[in-house]
Structure 1
Amino acid sequence: MTDHRSAPDPYPTGRVPEDELGRVPEWLRQPAPEVAPGRADRLRIALGGHSGKLLGGVLVLVLLAFFGLVGGLGYQGFQRWRGPAAEHPTVSLPVGEQASSSASPPPAAGPFDGTPAAGFPEGAAGIALPRAKRTGPFTDKQVADTLTRVRKALVTARLDRTFFTAKDPERLVRQFAPDARADLRDDFPTGEAGTYATRLAPGARLTADQPRVKGRVSYRATKDSQGIRLLEVTTNFVWAYAFPTASTEPGDGVVVVHDTVVWSVAHPDDVDRSSAGLWIDKADSYASNIDCAAFDKGLLALGKPSFGGPADPDPEAVFDPDKTVDLPDTC
């Protein structure tokens, strides 16, 4: 840090010897009283009292040249900065089409930023299958085939944009056992299919962003009430969808669906061929930030943000697959 305090006088008892600074010009000894020294002269005199022979002369010449070239403009600017700001005149804008230069806008923020879904995998990458191994009467190949069927059905039901807006649900229904299909078709007009499948409401659309997915898959061998041997697969996933919104608040354009679905495949030796294949035994779900009227019909659309009310779910909890799906209804 520069110290601006005065240095002690090295010659306290007298003036500086002439042999240190050189002979002092006569005009400095006896300045003409009728001509007051100018700003540059005063600066030169001040420098002359604190410099050596060569350095003093060079600095005086450099500073005199500098102030001679820019002193007028620079000094006026300095005085302007010190004084009160004056209004600067403007020009009239020309008539017609115009374009102005501007800085590049910052990268657009993602719709999931500021929510737990920002850290979720994108799309089908979030559906990880456990290792297939022999379980009860089911071989490792039968287990692997069943897990693959369940994953394919999940991708269609919750991630396939063509299915979301298709006129009929056959893209998903045909993946199930023939005997299971009639009941599944009935689920769509009643809205029951919303517990395991995503369908967009008329006019609703998603952004180009991949849905974010987090959850898990487990399986076990069991039997139903009739003694039929089953390979039961339980899926528990949170699906986060991004809808266009003018809001800049984090999560305002995000609809979250959390579902738990129990899928099953009967042992081929225990059922007719028409019943062999994939079934849904149970499905539960909730959704947040939704259009309630559409959701009652099993359709998905962005609603008004409803977090924060006394009966509303914890905003963090709705993104957590480990939390219960049994949450208060905010519709």
Structure 2
Amino acid sequence: MLSPRGSERDGYPDWLDRLEREIRPSLAVRLRIWCRRRARRLMAALGVVLLLAAAAGAAGYGYRQLRHSAAAPSPAVTGAPATAGPTASLDVFADTPAANWPAGAAGIVLPPARPTGGFTGAEVSAGLTRVRAAVLTARLDRAFMTGGSPTPLLRHFAPDARESVRKDWSAETIATYATRLAPDARLTPDQPRTKGRFTYRAVRRADGVRMLEVTSNFVWVYGFRDLGSRSGHSVVLLHDEIVWRLPHAGDVARADRGLWLHRMSSYGWGMDCDAVKHGLIRPGGLDLTATPLTEDPDALYDPDHPIELPVSC
């Protein structure tokens, strides 16, 4: 029911209504009145806006953190020295027959030691262990391979046998039974792959001296950083067959006791033949003046492959 125009409404006198019509409030005043009347709805809307903004900000922060974590180096890599050129692949041996071979010393396994030819089982075991130690130094010890001294290898030999090893140090012969890296050659972090075996027997020299003769026949495959390669790495293969002799301690003077080199031969693949002439190993191409290889290079990885190879350095 409409109230008479001149009557009071809700307890307010009608003159107040007239006063409101006669006084025209400014825009700012009217805006405050409008906001006051709609305060609850404005607060609710503002709360929704702030909630959405907070959610969007949290999502953005999470995305930035995820990108940062993916780009940051892992703790194991932090502080590692930077290397120029392509990064060596972790699968440097992946495309070779050596891909599943044992790494490093794991491939150098001794046969069971049994008494033979006047040598006890313990003496055979000690002799085999001595040969294995010399092989590990000669072909797998990085400090020795990159160093400039034969001393780490010499200590495995009998005192009177060391002079001949010293003479081999800067000659092609050293590469037959030991690995010396050229100064500019860099191995990848991968351990070399090895495959082969030891055999042994007892022999007697013409003068009656008993000898434990140990033959090592191994293929060694090294991964090198190679800036000339598209992948940034390459492999070098060495196959050696070495006959080591240890005279019976009761048959010789003290200076003759220990390890001697009796016979050795080897071939290589994927190496710089000019460096080999100085007893050094680095990756490189084939010798173009040599007889071309007529067989599959993968066959060279077989320890039973004949050592005589016309294309070898």
Give the structure-1-normalised TM-score.
Answer: 0.64
Residues 330 and 185 of structure 1, relative CA distance in 2, 3 Å threshold: closer
Contact 1:289 1:306 in 2 (8 A): no
Deviation at 1:206, TM superposition (A): 0.5
Letter in 2 for 1:297: H
CA RMSD of aligned residues (A): 2.5
- The runs of 5 or more residues in structure 2 that have no matched partner are 1-66, 72-87
Contact 1:311 1:330 in 2 (8 A): no
Q: Distance in 2 between matches of 1:305 and 1:179?
A: 37
Contact 2:145 2:181 in 1 (8 A): yes
Give the structure-2-normalised TM-score.
Answer: 0.68
Contact 2:272 2:286 in 1 (8 A): no
Residues 293 and 144 of structure 1, relative CA distance in 2, 3 Å threshold: same
Instruction: Return the match for 1:317 from 299, 305, 308.
Output: 299
Identity of aligned residues (%): 48
The answer as to 2:153 corresponding to 1:190 is no
Instruction: Return the match for 1:258 from 227, 232, 239.
Output: 239
Deviation at 1:329, TM superposition (A): 2.5
Structure 1 residue runs of 4 or more that deviate by more than 6 Å after TM superposition:
none
| SS at structure 1 position matched to 2:169 | helix
Deviation at 1:162, TM superposition (A): 0.2
Match of 1:162? 143
Match of 2:211? 230
| SS at structure 1 position matched to 2:251 | coil
The answer as to 2:111 corresponding to 1:130 is yes
Q: Distance in 2 between matches of 1:108 and 1:183?
A: 39
Q: Aligned runs of 1:255-294 on 2, under 5 Å?
A: 255-294=236-275
Q: Distance in 1 between matches of 2:302 and 2:140?
A: 19
Letter in 2 for 1:210: Q
Match of 1:41? none
Residues 159 and 330 of structure 1, relative CA distance in 2, 3 Å threshold: closer
Letter in 2 for 1:315: P
Q: Distance in 1 between matches of 2:304 and 2:312?
A: 20
Deviation at 1:306, TM superposition (A): 7.5
The answer as to 2:125 corresponding to 1:144 is yes
Q: Distance in 1 between matches of 2:291 and 2:254?
A: 52
Deviation at 1:133, TM superposition (A): 1.0
Deviation at 1:120, TM superposition (A): 0.9
Match of 2:311? 329
Match of 1:111? 92
Match of 2:23? none
Q: Distance in 2 between matches of 1:259 and 1:230?
A: 21
Q: Distance in 2 between matches of 1:137 and 1:128?
A: 24
| SS at structure 2 position matched to 1:287 | strand
Residues 162 and 137 of structure 1, relative CA distance in 2, 3 Å threshold: same
Letter in 2 for 1:135: T
Match of 2:277? 296
| CA deviations over 1:164-199 (Å, ceiling 9, x no partner) | 111110100111100101111111122211110000
Residues 146 and 183 of structure 1, relative CA distance in 2, 3 Å threshold: same
Letter in 1 for 2:304: D
| SS at structure 2 position matched to 1:131 | coil
Contact 1:117 1:319 in 2 (8 A): yes
Q: Distance in 2 between matches of 1:329 and 1:323?
A: 14
| SS at structure 2 position matched to 1:118 | coil
Contact 2:287 2:311 in 1 (8 A): no
- What is the number of equivalent residue pairs in this alignment? 227
Q: Distance in 2 between matches of 1:249 and 1:325?
A: 30
| CA deviations over 1:203-238 (Å, ceiling 9, x no partner) | 111010100000000100111233211000000000
Q: Distance in 2 between matches of 1:159 and 1:288?
A: 18
Q: Distance in 2 between matches of 1:232 and 1:279?
A: 10
Q: Distance in 1 between matches of 2:269 and 2:262?
A: 24
Letter in 2 for 1:261: I
Match of 2:47? none
Contact 2:273 2:286 in 1 (8 A): no
